[in-house]
């Protein structure tokens, strides 16, 4: 198995572009657009992401070039995906309905039974629930679009929130309890779909915690069905900086049921 790659294995121009990410960490995989040129290098972005995931997380650095893919690119927790330069580090989605998204296959989705909540109280009471074996502390309760972190699971029918519930008092209502993938960074990349008929977002982040995008561009042309550029659903701590979303037939940015986020210097045009 290839060893980790240090900063000195990256060209000086690449170091300059990614300085803020690489100043205090090693690069665990480098992606190049042609034949593998050094130990630890990859030509396939998904292969590099999966390799870094097998290490428990780290950084994938993508050198300048156009990377054509006819399959989804799946992200994992605790990974930074960094391009050398957004204008010239491009991921082309060749087929319709292809996107980059979070791997949510292992996440918790539990909604059996109903619950009761009182305004100003952290205590949640359930009816026909089995919380002890299905959920755990650190999961999140979603109720009417708001997210509440769970401090403790006290029994099959009782749990305690980390903070007092601040909504209106409710009884016997439906709900959802979920877990999150965490600590995902994407920088200096362009996602592009040149043609076709698609109703799929270019980037789709669902149930992400501490998600950071900087200098990311999403653009498409001649897509005839409604497609979003950058879509975020049920995210906590979402940070978008200097991102652009261009020429999509639906929304440039779509952000739903997210909390504790910061959006700065982002631009949407002709969507």
pLDDT of res. 151: 97
pLDDT of res. 193: 83
pLDDT of res. 250: 84
Q: Higher pLDDT residue, 182 or 7?
A: 182
User: Quick check: pTM over 0.75?
Assistant: yes
Does 39 have pLDDT greater than 60?
no
Other CB atoms within 10 Å distance of the CB of residue 265: 11
Residue 36: pLDDT band (50, 70, 90) is low
pLDDT of res. 1: 39
């Amino acid at each position: 198995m290839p060893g980790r790659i240090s900063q000195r294995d990256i060209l000086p121009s690449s170091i300059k572009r990614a300085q803020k990410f690489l100043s205090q960490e090693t690069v665990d995989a480098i992606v190049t657009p042609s034949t593998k040129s050094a130990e630890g290098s990859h030509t396939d972005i998904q292969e590099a992401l999966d390799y870094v995931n097998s290490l428990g997380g780290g950084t994938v650095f993508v050198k300048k070039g156009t990377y054509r893919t006819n399959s989804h690119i799946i992200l994992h927790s605790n990974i930074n995906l960094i391009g050398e330069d957004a204008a010239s580090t491009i991921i082309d989605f060749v087929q319709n309905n292809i996107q980059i998204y979070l791997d949510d296959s292992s996440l918790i989705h539990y909604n059996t039974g109903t619950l009761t909540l009182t305004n100003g109280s952290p205590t949640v009471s359930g009816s026909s629930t089995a919380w002890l074996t299905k959920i755990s502390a650190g999961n999140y309760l979603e109720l009417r679009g708001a997210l509440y972190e769970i401090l403790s699971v006290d029994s099959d029918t009782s749990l305690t929130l980390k903070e007092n519930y601040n909504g209106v008092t409710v009884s016997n209502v439906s709900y959802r309890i979920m877990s999150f993938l965490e600590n995902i960074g994407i920088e200096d990349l362009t996602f592009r779909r040149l043609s076709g008929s698609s109703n799929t977002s270019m980037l789709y982040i669902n149930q992400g915690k501490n998600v950071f995008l900087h200098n990311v561009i999403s653009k498409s042309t001649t897509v005839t069905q409604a497609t979003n550029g950058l879509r975020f659903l049920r995210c906590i701590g979402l940070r978008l900086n200097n991102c652009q979303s261009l020429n999509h037939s639906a929304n440039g940015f779509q952000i739903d049921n997210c909390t504790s986020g910061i959006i700065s210097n982002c631009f949407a045009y002709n969507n």
